[in-house]
Structure 1
Amino acid sequence: MFYAYLRGLVAFLLWIANGNTYYHNVDKILNKDENYIMVAPHRTFWDPVFMAFAARPKEFIFMAKKELFKSRIFGWWIKMCGAFPIDRENPSQQALKYPINMLKKSNRSLVMFPSGSRHSSDVKGGVAVIAKMAKVKIMPVVYTGPMEFKGLISGERVDMNFGNPIDVSDIKRMNDEGINEVANRIQAEFDRLDSENESYQVAKKPNLLTYIYRIPLAIIAVIVVLLTLVFSYLASFVWDPDKHRK
């Protein structure tokens, strides 16, 4: 329940801030009853929200760097939303075991950024291994839009484009050759979607009249956010998502 609430709240805040977001080929997203790995190049802090919002009512778990869990409120938020920490310097087997188990036994899919960084374009092998072992497909999506917050709130256009699901069941072994094949399939789809998005990225700003009703909604949203922060801070002392997850 908290996952759906927070997803809706953050998506609402992004709509108030931007109001110029377009979703393409959402019909390609796999059925909500089927688990999958949604992958994208990691370009902004907010692209995971657009991804999760587009695929609703499907819920996801998220692989996140351990540093994000240090904040009491934000760390509690992402834990409640199914995020689990990984040590990028010293990754453990748990980074694979947990998502594989969840993909097999729960109704939650997985969001991953194969590059692992907003400043990297290398497709890593973790996605390939998890997809193969969990026997799920890979759902590619790309974000095209402002990279900085000032561009987001100024109304620069955002395009989320969903690609064709990638089936890895034909790959017998996830050795270097198999992982490279999956990486090539993912990267090829990323490149195709980016090319499509270039045609969508016209110089289009949101209608200025929308700010007439978005401004009072923003005031309401700020109040809701403040109440959510207070609730989350207090709840973090009472409810441990890690214990509940175990």
Structure 2
Amino acid sequence: EKEGGMRHGKGKCRYANGNQYIGEWVNNKRHNRGTMYFASSAVYDGEWLEGERSGHGVMKYADGSTYEGQWLRDLKHGYGCYRFASKASYTGQWFEGRMHGQGTYEFADGQKFHGEFNRNLKSGYGTHVYRNGDQWGGIWIDDEPSGSGLYIFASNEFKVESPFVKAGEPPPHVGRQGQVAKVLRREDKVRMLQESESADEQARELASKAAQIAAEARVKMYKVLDDTAQLLGLMAPNT
């Protein structure tokens, strides 16, 4: 349709580069709902704003990957899910076409990462989930783990402070001596410290009571010896 010599309403347009648009127009611009068929065989179906992909839409790329979510000025922006041709996927926040903010990246082999992203890179706090259900949570910088984090076994029986463990490598050792890591069994560090402080105080109280009982017993013992000595006419031992 045309109005005043401009496309307005529903219609289609085939471009010189081979692209074709079918949908709504306002003032000669793609606007509201519409579908763009790209010459590359990619397809976008969704919302438009003044000629650009803006709002909710689905993009199917030529390589087989897809994106469904929010767009702004032709870029992925807001919340959306990108499924790669490799079968990996990312679901979460986007900013100006990049993974940015909170999100979940699922690897093709079944592993996952939940956490913060900065311009397509893991950055900030995040948790890596292994295929067997074990997890490692810690700080990431420029897509790489930094320092030690908390390794949680799938059974949730043990939590171990440990550097990041790559897939295929053995999990951190859990030993009584704690040579590799501190073992946290079902309690977090804060509670363990609180319990430790409470235990120390109880131990001090018990030690004090034991010393008092020992002193009282010593006094009674010498009194008995003294009384016995007097009865026998002997000298009591020095106290």
- With the shorter chain as reference, the TM-score category is under 0.3
Task: Answer 1 or 2: higher relative contact order, Cα 8 Å, separation at least 6.
Answer: 1
TM-score between both structures, scaled by the size of structure 1: 0.19
**Which of the pair is proportionally richer in helix?**
1
**Which of the pair is proportionally richer in strand?**
2
Larger radius of gyration: 2
